[in-house]
Chains A and B, each alone.
Chain A
Amino acid sequence: MKKLRVKKGKDLIFRKEEEDAFIFTPEDANIRTLNENGAFIWEMIEKKERYDEILKSLCLKYPKVAKNRIKKDLDRFLGELKKRGLIE
């Protein structure tokens, strides 16, 4: 999963608020909530950052956490996004 991008034709709306972040899909009015890190990753995906760049940024953000643990979490999160049809 080197290239990540928001699913085409989905017309997704990402909202970042004071306390919350969520993705809204108008076609089915579904809301997916993201925590701070989820929002951080989503913003990077929207900016068309590559997988390696996102992983690197997370490792910089959490220098005390082993890279393979962060990678595992990131992969799982991206899998969740893909399962929900939000990225391709």
Chain B
Amino acid sequence: MRGVLDRFFIGDFKRHMKKNRQKNYILNSLYINPTGRCNLKCRHCWINPYYSNDTGASGNELKPGEIISIIKEARELGLANIKLTGGEPLLRNDLEEVFEFCAKNGIKICIETNGTLIDRGKALLLKKYNVDFISLSLDGCNPSINDSFRGVKGAFRMATDGIRNLVKAGFNPQVITCLHRRNVENFEKLAGLCKDLGVSSLKINPVMPVGKGKRLIKDKQNLGVKEILHFKNHILPGIRNKFQYDIFIHLPPAFLSLKEIGKRGKCNIFGILGVLPDGNISICGIGFHVDELLFGKPLRDRGGLKRIWRENKKLNELRKHVPDRLEGVCSKCIFKKICLGCCRAEVYYRDKNFYAPFWFCQESYKQGLFPESRLIPSTSDKGMPKRKIKQE
């Protein structure tokens, strides 16, 4: 509603669209991992791929035609976009056929890459097929910080060259950076570098306790919940103000302003499937780690992708009980229907339980840092951890 004064606005938060007119769930996105290999050895990587510089497909990876077959079937379930992610997807230099198919059929393409393999020719190829969105990784403002974190000497130079090539080709790439002990002090320099390189946005991820991230946390190279919130509330606004572009930290909605919640993408777990390099289907890339979350191979199994999407028990369990059965602080969170418990894949990986609370929210609740205004008032604290009262 907009009035003459435009001052009384009331808006409804959009929740995740779950079903179409025929009451079937819509498979909006495929997260495709064309390879389980990577040419970097990043210390935080949640996938934990094996190191390889070999380009092209390896023996057990889906061929381009097979990827297209899965995409074709997904289109019948409502597919609107694919995300190519890692391992490093651009190690596969045989995916032009996939890009072409998507471009011809109006399927949006998003690529998450470490950026080190994007030369001028690759950037122009991606532009030719109208790739919609590209995010690259950079974890430090100089080779010393970045390369020690990314595990390969020269990664900084190659990634920054990749960004330059994309910008020259007409892209507005996003940089994704992992916030860790070594880059936090120089974060302003990193934000400045990204601005100079011409990126459109800088997304900051805390270290996730999955894959190699667990080791990083054990070594105390991550920032704790309190430090992350301090960074978000007291350091980031100044950096954002100085450089005047979109710099944001990826946190659950409970920690964001309403404007930020509306603006930022959230994991729509009801509309996604992951395609692993060998053709197995999972919720996302979590199938690399959790065998129970491997739902079968549509190119091999009877009923294909449709059967998995409609009949898989784990998927149906998720759809039926998230967010109503969320536990811990997630059960008391006002934003649970928007957030859906943030990353259910991470939670399942850790607890083998789809409904356990998300680690960041639960930890912040224990430390008295969960925003009180985002909690549903309740007389019962059954099942809740003890917490400090103090708010940041």
Listed in ascending order, the chain A residues whose CB lies under 8 Å from chain B are 13, 15, 17, 19-20, 22, 24, 26, 29-38, 41, 62, 65, 69-70, 72-74, 76-77, 80-81, 84
Contact = CB atoms under 8 A, between A and B. Distances in A.
Given A13-B376, A19-B258, A35 B8 contact: yes
B227 to A, nearest CB: 21
Given A17-B373, A38-B9, A77 B3 contact: yes
23 contacts: A13-B334, A15-B373, A19-B257, A20-B259, A22-B258, A24-B334, A29-B334, A30-B12, A31-B13, A31-B334, A31-B335, A31-B338, A33-B10, A33-B13, A34-B9, A36-B7, A37-B7, A70-B5, A72-B4, A76-B3, A80-B10, A84-B10, A84-B12
B1 A80 contact: yes
Contacts, number: 83
Given A13-B376, A19-B259, A77-B1, A32 B11 contact: yes
Interface in B309-358: 323, 334-338
A15 B9 CA distance: 16
Contacts of B377: 13
A17 B260 CA distance: 14
A38 B8 contact: yes
Main secondary structure of the interface of B (DSSP, over half): loop
Contacts of A34: 8-10
Nearest to B335: A31
Nearest to A86: B10
Interface of B: 1, 3-5, 7-13, 257-259, 323, 334-338, 371, 373-374, 376-377
Max chain A C-beta neighbours (<10 A), residue from B4, B7, B9: B7
Max chain A C-beta neighbours (<10 A), residue from B4, B257, B323, B374: B4
Contacts of A80: 1, 10
Contacts of A30: 12-13, 337
B13 A77 contact: no
A80 B2 CA distance: 11
Main secondary structure of the interface of A (DSSP, over half): mixed
A33 B13 CA distance: 7
Contact of A73 (B5, B335, B373): B5
Given A24-B376, A33-B258, A73 B3 contact: yes
A20 B257 contact: yes
B258 A20 contact: yes
Nearest to A31: B13
Contacts of A62: 5
B326 to A, nearest CB: 11
Given A37-B5, A81-B10, 4 more contacts: A13-B334, A17-B257, A29-B323, A41-B8
Contacts of A31: 12-13, 334-335, 338
A31 B256 CA distance: 14
Contacts of A32: 10-13
A80 B8 CA distance: 10
